[in-house]
């Protein structure tokens, strides 16, 4: 329990957050995403060691954008997603073909039709269905747009972070190259 309080991870344990960890024996760094299993340190393999969290966190903060959005959505959002998924299916087309064919056939063939030609009631039902379905599709598309926006934002943040890190590394490397040259000039 005392180890858990300090945030130390044993190899095989899952990381509670996106963070860089350091080996307690050799200080080797490893970065773990939330839920990722801590590995055995390659330097200290077989010897007793743990992973100590450093102050360095990792971007992105959200590992899987789609499941994050889905976990935040209400039951009506989920219903809209399911209905939209069903509408984009060929089963939807077949069901409607059979429904229209039976409706028209019955009302033309029957001596006592409930919706005679030109099928005013069928037109009303189909119009109402179209309005409701269009709304569901718009709701679902808005949610899909949110997922894409969030992904683009995360991509941008990661790119920015990488650009900064590369600039830092480049400045370190060029400093190391310049130092010996300046010493030679002084001699």
Q: Is 147 within 8 Å of 66 (Cβ atoms)?
A: yes
Binding mask 116-135 for Zn ion (x = CB under 5 A): --------------------
Of 4 and 25, nearer to Zn ion (C-beta) is 25
Closest CA to 139 of 91, 90, 73: 73
Phi, psi of 185 (to 5 degrees): -65, -35
Region of 19-27, 124-132, 159-167, 178-186 interacting with Zn ion (CB under 5 A): 19-27
List 26, 98, 132, 163, residue binding Zn ion (CB under 5 A): 26
Give the Cα separation of 21 and 160 in Å (integer): 22
- Judged by CB under 5 A, the residue of 9, 23, 65, 83 near Zn ion is 23
Q: How far is the CB of 36 from Zn ion (least distance, A)?
A: 18
Q: Could you say which of 10, 14, 17, 43 contacts Zn ion (CB under 5 A)? A: 43
Q: Which residues bind Zn ion (CB under 5 A)?
A: 23, 25-26, 28, 41, 43-44
């Amino acid at each position: 329990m005392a180890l858990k309080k300090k945030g130390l991870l044993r190899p095989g344990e899952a990381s509670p957050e996106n963070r860089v960890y350091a080996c307690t024996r050799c200080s080797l760094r490893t970065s773990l995403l939330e839920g990722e299993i801590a590995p055995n340190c390659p330097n200290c393999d077989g010897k007793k060691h743990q992973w100590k969290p450093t102050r360095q966190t990792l971007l992105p903060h959200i590992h899987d954008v789609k499941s994050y959005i889905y976990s935040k959505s209400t039951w009506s959002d989920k219903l809209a997603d399911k209905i939209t998924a069903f509408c984009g299916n060929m089963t939807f087309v077949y069901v409607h073909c059979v429904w229209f064919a039976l409706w028209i056939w019955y009302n033309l063939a029957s001596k006592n039709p409930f919706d005679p030609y030109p099928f005013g009631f069928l037109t009303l039902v189909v119009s109402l269905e179209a309005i409701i379905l269009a709304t569901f599709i718009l709701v679902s598309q808005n949610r899909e747009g949110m997922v894409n926006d969030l992904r683009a934002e995360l991509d941008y943040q990661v790119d920015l972070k990488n650009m900064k890190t590369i600039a830092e590394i480049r400045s370190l490397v060029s400093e190391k190259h310049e130092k010996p040259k300046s010493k030679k000039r002084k001699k």
